[in-house]
């Protein structure tokens, strides 16, 4: 049985939220990060947070906090790399990443990604969901399952200037798993980027 470490990606600059940690925003009496931790914990063998800056702001969670191993705020791929490096050092085979600002992601996210990875024999699987406006399935690059054998390839990609996750995952033969919208037609990967998004999330939670 492969060992999977869960990595909550909280290393962004959150410029559209005035620089505050999106995961620490309140949603009906809990932080968004509370919900992310509760949903991801049963799906993985252990859990950590990837965040830059003072780690003390996450002390209440009692989880390891790792920063990007590459300087310069290079985006989510740098957080994925840091997670994979930590995982390899601790003897883990896979890293499952989720975004810290996405409160409603599926409880079977990791299981379904692992099924695809095992059946199709790919080193990366990204989640996707149906975008009604674009009328097609769209990948959610921060929600993925990554094998630690990709560390050297990802390091080289970052050093060469690659920042778009799907560009890199396509280059290494990545796959995807499609998640349906829920019974109320909500995207399970809805994320909170702006104050308006937080209002939407509060309304979505009220209708659950």
**Domain range summary for the chain, segments of one domain joined by +:** 4-206
Q: What pLDDT digit, counting tens, does each position of 50-107 carry?
A: 998 888 999 999 999 999 988 888 899 999 999 999 999 999 999 999 999 999 999 9
- Give the torsion through C-alpha atoms of 130, 33, 29, 204, to 10 deg: -10
Q: Three-state DSSP class for 133?
A: coil
Mean pLDDT, to the nearest integer, of 200-207?
A: 80
Predicted pLDDT at 93: 95
Query: pTM (2 decimals)?
Result: 0.91
Token pair listed for 13: 């600059």
- The mean pLDDT value of the chain amounts to 90
Predicted pLDDT at 187: 86
Name which of 50, 143, 57, 133 is nearest 104 in CA terms. 143
Mean pLDDT, to the nearest integer, of 148-153?
A: 97
Instruction: Look at 134 and 108; give whichever has higher pLDDT.
Output: 108
4-206: CATH homologous superfamily?
A: Spore Coat Polysaccharide Biosynthesis Protein SpsA; Chain A (3.90.550.10)
Rg of the chain over all Cα atoms, to the nearest angstrom? 16
Where do the H-state alpha helices sit in the chain?
Answer: 32-40, 76-89, 109-120, 151-159, 165-171, 195-206
Predicted pLDDT at 165: 94
Distance (Å, whole) CA 110 – CA 42: 10
Distance (Å, whole) CA 110 – CA 96: 7
Mean pLDDT, to the nearest integer, of 109-124?
A: 96
Mean pLDDT, to the nearest integer, of 30-49?
A: 96
Name which of 202, 171, 175, 174 is nearest 186 in CA terms. 202
pLDDT band at 207 (very low <50, low <70, confident <90, very high): low
Mean pLDDT, to the nearest integer, of 3-19?
A: 72
pLDDT band at 208 (very low <50, low <70, confident <90, very high): low
């Amino acid at each position: 049985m492969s060992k999977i470490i869960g990595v909550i990606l909280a290393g962004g600059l959150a410029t559209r939220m005035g620089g505050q940690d999106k995961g620490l925003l309140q949603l009906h009496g809990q932080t968004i990060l509370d919900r992310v931790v509760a949903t991801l914990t049963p799906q993985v063998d252990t859990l950590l947070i990837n965040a830059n800056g003072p780690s003390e702001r996450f002390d209440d969670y009692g989880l390891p906090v790792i920063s990007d191993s590459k300087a310069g705020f290079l985006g989510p791929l740098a957080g994925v790399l840091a997670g994979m490096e930590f995982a390899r050092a601790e003897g883990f085979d896979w890293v499952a990443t989720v975004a810290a600002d996405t409160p409603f992601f599926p409880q079977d996210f990791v299981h379904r990604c692992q099924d695809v990875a095992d059946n199709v024999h790919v080193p990366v699987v990204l989640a996707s969901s149906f975008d009604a406006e674009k009328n097609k399935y769209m990948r959610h690059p921060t929600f993925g399952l990554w094998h630690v054998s990709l560390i050297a390839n990802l390091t080289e990609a970052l050093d060469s200037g690659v920042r778009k996750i799907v560009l890199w995952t396509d280059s290494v033969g990545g796959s995807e798993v499609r998640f349906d919208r829920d019974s109320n037609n909500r995207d399970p990967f809805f994320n909170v980027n702006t104050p308006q998004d937080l209002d939407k999330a509060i309304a979505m939670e009220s209708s659950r």
